[in-house]
Structure 1
């Protein structure tokens, strides 16, 4: 699944010359946490998010307390006092290409602590992905479907354990008994043991999973 598969194609944006109060009202009216900022050529120039507005002077003097005797830095002063979106927005913008896998998008959003990111095709913004889009992708996920039969399930589970977790085929085994998957062998930690159980449970057709893996310190 790629970014273009889950992105919202209808993107609401604002101009750098819009007022901060207009931007705040727009976010409230549409129930969104941020807005792309596009210039007169419709090129992405920045991003205005809720976080950019948390220390505005409109919130009162308590919203900014400079260091005694020093006061705020000029950049911080502008961000807190200017009425113009272009002065308050965040730039450069964290973006993703439309062909980036969704798991990479989620990792980037988590690492950067952002709630939405524009999706690009070259220099053109073609969509936007929010955390809600990521949640919808998770909610709509359909587990892998494998061929019917115990042997097919056994091979699928083994493949998942080796490819996703890097387990050594020589140290583990999988058997099927009355529709239940049994995991056998040795792993290096409790976390790896639990990860093996989760991996087995993701295989469609695997009824119950009996985790008989043993932890062997290396």
Structure 2
């Protein structure tokens, strides 16, 4: 059984997105970091929400939002965020990542966000384990 933890495959570098960040800036940050979503932090670096491509797509298709570049992340973000511990076994997390469930999870150590893990990261971990088993 794979004994790899989330912290071994999580993304450690995250954009600094706050509730006051403009929607267009958030999109640019997600593209810069090659992410589909990111945690939203308050001024004390506490997790207050999550913004994903799903929340950002809808406003871009509505002319009232599109013309108003001042839309803030706070107007779009999810405020109920599912997190995962860095010590969580990667298989346990993979079992939770079913259709209709979050695709990205902020990784926490206590109350501090230490990274983020996505379905793609979990898939890489499981694939790496599979390849390792095939070569031994």
TM-score, L = length of structure 2 = 0.81
Tell me if the contact between 1:46 and 1:90 (Cα under 8 Å) persists in the aligned partners: yes
Q: Computing the radius of gyration over CA atoms, which structure comes out larger, 1 or 2? A: 1
Question: 1:22 maps to which residue?
Answer: 25
Alignment equivalent of 1:115, drawn from 89, 100, 103:
103
Structure 1 alignment gaps of length 5 or more: 64-80, 146-203, 205-218
Question: 1:143 maps to which residue?
Answer: 133
RMSD of equivalent CA atoms: 2.4
TM-score, L = length of structure 1 = 0.52
Alignment equivalent of 1:37, drawn from 26, 37, 40:
40
Displacement, 1:104? 1.6
Q: Superposition pairs for residues 172-191 of structure 1, below 5 Å? A: none
Q: Superposition pairs for residues 26-175 of structure 1, below 5 Å? A: 26-56=29-59, 58-60=60-62, 83-141=71-129, 142-143=132-133
Structure 2 alignment gaps of length 5 or more: none
**Distance across 2 between alignment mates of 1:85 and 1:130:** 21
* 4+ aligned runs moved over 4 Å, structure 1: none
